[in-house]
Amino acid sequence: NSFVTRTNTCGELRSAHVGQEVTLYGWIQYQRQGLFLVLRDFQGLTQIIIPQDEAHSHVRELLCNAPVESVVRVTGIVSPRPPGQENPKMPTGDIEVKAETAEILNSCKKLPFEIKDFIKKSEALRMQYRYLDLRSLQLQHNLRLRSQVVMRMREYLCNLHGFVDVETPTLFKRTPGGAKEFLVPSREAGKFYSLPQSPQQFKQLLMVGGLDRYFQVARCYRDEGSRPDRQPEFTQIDIEMSFVDQAGIQRLIEGLLQYSWPKERGSITTPFPSMTYEEALANYGTDKPDTRFGMKLVDISDFLRRSDIQFVQNALSYPHGTVKAICIPQGAKYLKNKDLESLKESAKSQFNQEIVEIICRPDGSLKSLLTKFLGEKQQSELIQVLNMQVDDVVLLAAGEHKQVCSALGSLRLESADLLEAAGLVLCDPTTFHFLWVVDFPLFLPKEGNPSELESAHHPFTAPHPSDTSLLYSDPTKVRSQHYDLVLNGSEVGGGSIRIHSAEQQRFVLEKVLKEDSEVLSHLLEALEFGAPPHGGIALGLDRLISLIVDAPSIRDVIAFPKSFRGRDLMGNAPDYVTPEELEPYHIQVSQPLAEKEAKQN
C-alpha cells in the first residue's frame, strides 16, 4: 500500500483488523439485492455491506446503481461476519466492511463478456478486449508468477553468479539460415533492417569484448506465419559465458531453474537426466520426448527378419530399413475403431507411413492381418517381445528408420491423448520431467534439396570434439555440441558451444553451407581478434511459464499476445499506412489489399 491512497488491499483484511476504519479501492465483482457487494482488486475480494439507514441513503443509492466492474472507493469499518455467515473459501471470509462513504471513480458500460474464469469466451473476443480479460484471476496469477520467476532468475544470475545484464539492439541486419525475419525499411533506398530472431551474434561479440558472463531478458522476432503455439514476438532468457563447456552450461541452467522454481509447484530434482538425439529418436520418435509415460518404440526388425511378410522384407532390404512398434495399454478397451482408423490415417497423411494394428484378445490370442504369416510359437514370442497384455493394441510400422520413428512418435502422443480423454490416467499433471537431449547432428539435408546441407540449429554451433576431423571429410556424420532442454515433451531451451575460430567458422559457412560469408564479415573479423572459447543457451520464457501454470496456450502467459495469424485484434495491427508515410522509405505498395478485395467483390 506504499505510495497510494488506500489503507489496505481487498485481499488482506482479517479478524485482527476488526474495528479499524479502512479505505479500499477496486472493481465491483457483483452486487446482491442492494444488501452487499463484493469488491475486487489484484490481491483478492472483500465483502462490503451497503448501509440501509436513512443517514447513508446517498451511499446506498450510489452503490446499488453502480454497474458491475465499475471502479469505486469505499471507506468503512471492518466488522466480523455474523455467526454462520463466514466464508472459509475466501481469505477475507471472516470479516466484512460496513460502508460509511463511497465514490464511483469510473462507471463501467455494458461488458462484452462476464469477468469470470468459468465463463466460456471466444479466443477472438478475449483478444479484442484483452484489457478486460486481464482482470481474470487466472491471467492475473499467470503474469504475477511470470514476474516472480524472472526476478528470481535475475537474482541467481546477476547477484549470485556475476552475470551482466546487457541490452542488445533490436534493429540489425539479416542473418543467413534459421527462421524468417521481419524487415524494417530505412530511409536509404533499398536498404532494410531486420528484427533479430535472437541476440545470437551480439552475445558472441560480448564474449569477444571480454564481458565473460552475459544475460538478458530478450525480445525476439520471427516471421513464422500461422503456427498454433508460436508468437511473432516472444521472450527468451538469453545467456552466454566464456571458458565454459557443455556440462558447465547444463549445471548453470539446472541451478537457475531450481532457484527460480515457484514453491507452489513442488521442487525439481537435479541433475536432469540426459539422452542423445539418436536415443530420443529411436525410443520416442522425437527429439523432444515426453518421458512422463512409457509406450516406448520397440525395434522388432530382428524378430521379423525371418518372417515371410512381404512389406517387412521390402523395408528391411533398404540400408536404413527398420520395423518398429508401440504398444497402447488397454487400447482395445479405451479406443474405438474410429480412433484406430484416425491414428492410421494420421500416419499416412503426415508421414506417408502405413500402419498395421495387432490386438490382444481377452483369450490372449492376436487379431491382426499379420497372424496368417506367423505360427503360434512366433505369435507367442511376439507377445513377449512387445510385452503385450490382454486388450493392448500394437501399432506396427516398417520402412526408413527416421520416417518410421517420427510416425510412431507422433502416434504415441496422439494415442496417449486419446487414452487420457477416455479416462485412463497416463501422466500425473503435477509432475515435471526435465530432460537434456544432446549429440544432435551438426548438419541436416536441406528440405527440397537433400544433396545440400543446412545447419540443424544455426551456423555458429561447434562440432563435437571427437568429430572435428569429419567436418572436412564427411560433414553429414558430424555431431554438434548443441543441447536442448525438454520439459514434459516441449522444448523449453536450446544452446550450444560456439565456434570461436574464424577459420572454422568461414569453412562451415562457405564450404559446407554454401552461404555468402560476407553477410557475417563483422563476426568473422571479431573471431580473429582473440575470441575466447564460449557457449550459451536461451530458455523460452513464454513456453516455460505456460508449462508451469498448465496453460492451454502460451497466449495465456503473455499480457498482449498476437492471434493465431499474428494479428493484434485489440489495436487492429498490422494496419495500412498512407503513400505519403511510405515515401521517405522509397517503398510503394503495388496494389493495396483493400482495392484488390474491392475489385474481386
- CA diameter of the chain: 97
Q: Is residue 593 a part of any domain in this protein?
A: no
Which residues are bridge partners to 444 per DSSP? Answer: 454
Instruction: Indicate whether 601 pLDDT > 90.
Output: no
Residues 449 and 532 in one domain: yes
Which pLDDT tens digit goes with each residue over 411-420?
Answer: 999 999 999 9
Residues 418 and 438 in one domain: no
Q: Is residue 381 a part of any domain in this protein?
A: yes
Q: Is residue 97 a part of any domain in this protein?
A: yes
Q: Is residue 4 a part of any domain in this protein?
A: no
Residue 106 pLDDT:
97
Residues 167 and 256 in one domain: yes
Which pLDDT tens digit goes with each residue over 327-347?
Answer: 999 999 999 999 999 999 999
Residues 269 and 306 in one domain: no
Which pLDDT tens digit goes with each residue over 197-217?
Answer: 999 999 999 999 999 999 999
Residue 599 pLDDT:
60
Residue 179 pLDDT:
75
Quick check: helix, strand or coil at residue 290?
A: coil
Which pLDDT tens digit goes with each residue over 127-150?
Answer: 999 999 999 999 999 999 999 999
Residues 300 and 405 in one domain: yes
Which residues are bridge partners to 96 per DSSP? Answer: 79
Give residue for cell 455467526.
83
Quick check: helix, strand or coil at residue 89?
A: coil
Residue 447 pLDDT:
84
Better-scored residue on pLDDT, 117 or 587: 587
Total domain count, the chain: 3
Task: Please work out, in degrees rounded to the nearest 5, the angle formed at the alpha carbon of residue 315 by the alpha carbons of 312 and 318.
Answer: 145
Q: Which residues, 6 or more positions from 551, have their beta carbon under 8 angstroms from its beta carbon? A: 142, 545, 557
Q: Is residue 527 a part of any domain in this protein?
A: yes
CATH of the domain at 48: 2.40.50.140
Residue 448 DSSP code: T
Residues 442 and 462 in one domain: yes
Q: Is residue 341 a part of any domain in this protein?
A: yes
How far, rounded to the nearest angstrom, does the alpha carbon of residue 315 sit from its chain's CA centroid? 36
* For range 89-102, the mean pLDDT: 97
Report residue 472 as a C-alpha cell: 572436412
* For range 90-101, the mean pLDDT: 97
Residues 346 and 393 in one domain: yes
Among the residue ranges 40-49, 176-185, 245-254, 587-596, the one predicted with the least confidence is: 587-596
Instruction: Indicate whether 597 pLDDT > 70.
Output: no
Domain boundary residue among 55, 82, 106? 106
Secondary structure element (H or E) that encloses residue 525, with its range: helix 521-527
Instruction: Indicate whether 65 pLDDT > 90.
Output: yes
Residue 119 pLDDT:
79
Q: Is residue 180 a part of any domain in this protein?
A: yes
Secondary structure element (H or E) that encloses residue 303, with its range: helix 301-304
Residues 101 and 29 in one domain: yes
Q: What is the phi/psi pair of residue 592, to 5°?
A: -55, 145
CB of 536 within 8 A of CB of 212? no
User: Do you find a cis peptide bond into 459, omega within 30 degrees of 0?
Assistant: no
Residues 323 and 442 in one domain: no
Residue 593 pLDDT:
60
Q: Which of 152-166, 212-226, 558-572 reaches the highest mean pLDDT?
A: 152-166
Quick check: helix, strand or coil at residue 219?
A: strand
CATH of the domain at 445: 3.30.930.10
* For range 94-123, the mean pLDDT: 92
Which pLDDT tens digit goes with each residue over 300-315?
Answer: 999 999 888 999 999 9
Residues 417 and 297 in one domain: yes
Q: What is the phi/psi pair of residue 432, to 5°?
A: -125, 115
Residues 269 and 313 in one domain: no
- Average pLDDT score, the chain: 94
CB of 119 within 8 A of CB of 132? no
Count of other CB atoms within 10 angstroms of residue 356:
18
Domain boundary residue among 386, 401, 422? 422
CB of 436 within 8 A of CB of 496? no
Domain boundary residue among 369, 397, 422? 422
d(CA 215, CA 236): 10
Range of the domain at 25: 15-106
Q: Is residue 568 a part of any domain in this protein?
A: no
CB of 582 within 8 A of CB of 189? no
How far, rounded to the nearest angstrom, does the alpha carbon of residue 21 sit from its chain's CA centroid? 46
Helix pair 337-351, 401-421: axis angle to 10 deg? 150
Report residue 599 as a C-alpha cell: 475489385
Residues 206 and 320 in one domain: no
Instruction: Indicate whether 57 pLDDT > 90.
Output: yes
